[in-house]
Amino acid sequence: MTTDQKEKRNDEYNKYVKRVTPTHCLSANMLKAFILGGIICTIGQLIVNTCTQYFGLSSDEASAWCSMILILISCVLTALNLYAPLANWGGAGALVPITGFANGVCSSSCEFQVEGQVFGIGCQIFRIAGPVILYGIFSSWVLGVIYLVVTGL
């Protein structure tokens, strides 16, 4: 193969890569994430307000109910294959809140349910939750040690 042929092949390949590589508009993605994250947070605030005003719960109890309801909504939307289109559109706006974590755990269990209760759902559900729990516990331990050293207790 001559040098001209190699250059032509490389140019054709580069044109192909440029054609099939998706382009993203950062400002549009940020706006979509802001809108969807804002909608999720607004729903959460409506749940908290409803729990405190109409059911007489304390703010801590209302916040706990809000978390549980948002997790339930996320799992139901994931099971119905409706959360993925929201996450594709809103990006980090759907993936960062507690609903995104619930979606990750629920989608793992839905994907592997054909492998059975133990080896499918039981093992695969921790693909997402396991590292988050591990690093959360580890980082809180490290911060606790730092706090202990700084305060001298």
pLDDT in tens, 100-144: 888 888 877 776 666 666 666 666 777 767 777 788 889 999 999
> What is the rounded CA–CA span in Å between residue 105 and residue 89?
20
Percentage of the chain beyond pLDDT 90 is 44
Q: State pTM to two decimals.
A: 0.69
In the prediction, which pLDDT does 69 show?
Answer: 95
User: What is the distance between the alpha carbons of residues 131 and 97, in angstroms, rounded to a whole number?
Assistant: 17
Rounded Cα distance, 86 and 72, in Å: 16
